[in-house]
Amino acid sequence: MDSFPISTARRRFVQGIALGGAALGLGLSPRQLLATQSQTGAPELSGRHFALTIGNTGVNLTGRRANAVTVNGTLPAPTLRWRQGDTVTLAVTNHLAHTTSIHWHGILLPFQMDGVPGISFAGIAPGETFTYRFPVVQSGTYWYHSHSGFQEQRGLYGALVIDPEQPDPVDRDYVVVLSDWTDEDPDHLYATLKKLSDYYNFNERTVFDTLRDFREKGVAQTLQDRRMWNRMRMSSRDLADVTGYTYTYLTNGHTPNGNWTALFQPGERIKLRFINSSAMTFFDIRIPGLDMTVVAMDGQPVAPVRFHECRLGVAETLDVIVTPTENRAYTLFAQSIDRSGFARGTLTPNPALSAAVPAMDAPTPLTPRDMGMAGMDGMDGMDGMDHGQMTTMESDHHAMASMDHNGMHEMHSGQAPRSVPFATDAHNPDLPPRSSVDQHARSEHGPGVDMRAHQPQAMLDDPGFGLRERDWKVLTYADLETAGGAPDSLTADREIVLHLTGNMERYMWSFNGIKFADSVPLELYLGERVRITLVNDTMMTHPIHLHGMWSDLEVGHGKLLRKHTITVKPGEKLSYLVRADAEGGWAYHCHLLYHMEAGMFREVRVVKAATHGEANG
């Protein structure tokens, strides 16, 4: 396995100042600050009518003053508490110099209320007020955020808690909003990624790594390995685009040094509502010394499962129950997927007590399996590939590039996507045959795509790189199913296959090799049940979010996991079912903010079947 020893200086990230971030810039002392906040770390607003004001607020999270985009002057935005069955009205006023918006993530509502400029509405212009009004038809843990530019990265995000008609009794209920903060201007950060995509990646190889390999492997083998990597234009160390080099990771607006703290009494049943509201960061979450039991994911109840650690994708939410019996403190520890930093908080019976913060793990390089080359899993890593294997793999790529994929699932400009006929697969009868899933449309062969998965695999039971060797239980999608059984039909009327594609060096991201600007809307027929199969051809993990409708992930054995955001690992293929029951235009995209901006975005239109021919005529 390729290892990467990294010096302390290279691993250092900004852990911030000791004062939490929710009301910074308002001139409050720590005691006054605590008096203005609920235990969630941000003010909590409840009821049916809400007045929300979006504006600029000065903050100081790292010792350096910066500008945040806030709701009612706080970071995170206020926690909104609704009740299932109510109709809510939210008047949102824009005090910014630019158009803004709020998207209610995971909430089922009329498309005009979804809050996506250019698809749902025009946005909220400077000085204007837009009133959202819709019935609340669900319960659970969700969140809200801007869908305008990079305002989400600047701080415009907050928690949503919807109480069911019959609440689950717990002794304490805490929201835990995880996020990533940068003092940089996000526009500058994005421009940097476009110019040099690995600028923030301090895990990349250095001359010292090469010198070490010369000593350990010999000059010839080292040069052969480097030649292989260069020819494949890949790096086993592309774990995250944006890292702790610029990010400070927050828990409810508090930096690691700020140490957000929640109280309990031993023996109490505590619900923790984890929300990953970051722009770009996957968090691996654990509470050393304390088991967790998952009871809901993405707001939907699941059959309970006890676990010790989980990877929470961007935009996902996870409700867990913990019951600490000892009279001591526990650390909530959430380290980034690339191990460049962490968010932390404390559960404690006494505000004066805290627990040790675990050391971050060493970053783990990607393997052939993470590159969609599962047939090479027997190797310890790509550095172990000999030249013969390399030549074969290159030939396969060249062969695919020259294929004429007639009848494939292409999304060329001016064309509607083509359906893939149903068939069986030896590994998963719910998936189409390998010949249709693993082949690539002509649109995937161009400057916007630098990699195509050679052998994508079903990986729902795989915790992912960095978590596979744990001595404790790591939660995976395969462990979960929606409580009460499948919430909708297990069969589909139609199937669509989409490949997640990109060019890391050029920082271009897309579906089927086509960026949003060159795409046409994906049409679903009102009322139909559609199976969407995603194949991740890239070396990055992508959280894919469909607005307005549930995504019922097929986890096997006739079980479904109802979600609003589905994380797809490198080299993975998975399928989920969608009931197209919400007419109108909806956004469909990778929830990594800069990937979405760079093109991994689609519009989905749900139309009545009678109008389909007219729309494509």
Q: Domains (ranges, CATH) in the chain?
A: 30-168 (2.60.40.420), 409-414+421-615 (2.60.40.420)
Of 125-129, 451-455, 517-521, least confident by mean pLDDT is 451-455
Rg (CA), the chain: 24
Mean pLDDT value across residues 56-61: 95
d(CA 511, CA 496): 12
* Count of C-beta atoms within a 10 Å radius of residue 123: 19
Tell the residue number behind the tokens 């009133």, with chain if given.
131
Computed over every residue of the chain, the mean pLDDT equals 83
- pLDDT for 25 equals 40
Specify the 3-state DSSP secondary structure of 338.
coil
Phi and psi, residue 405, nearest 5°: -85, 70
Those residues whose C-beta lies under 8 Å from the C-beta of residue 391, and which sit 6 or more positions away, are none
Query: % helix / strand / coil in the chain, to the nearest 5?
Result: 15, 35, 50
- pLDDT for 571 equals 92
Give the predicted TM-score (pTM) of the model. Answer: 0.85
Of 48-52, 86-90, 392-396, least confident by mean pLDDT is 392-396
Give the model confidence (pLDDT) of 525-543 as tens digits.
999 999 999 999 998 999 9
Name which residue leads in pLDDT, 23 or 156: 156
- pLDDT for 450 equals 86
Mean pLDDT value across residues 211-237: 64
Strands 508-511 and 494-503: antiparallel
- pLDDT for 99 equals 98
- pLDDT for 28 equals 37
Residue 249 near residue 157 (C-beta atoms within 8 A)? no
- pLDDT for 574 equals 97
Q: Is the dihedral of CA 20, 22, 28, 30 positive or negative?
A: negative
- For residue 344, pLDDT beyond 50: yes
- For residue 377, pLDDT beyond 80: no
Give the model confidence (pLDDT) of 151-187 as tens digits.
999 999 999 999 998 888 899 999 999 999 999 999 9
Residue 257 near residue 266 (C-beta atoms within 8 A)? no
- pLDDT for 166 equals 86
- pLDDT for 40 equals 42
d(CA 374, CA 369): 4
Helix (H) or strand (E) holding 188: helix 186-195
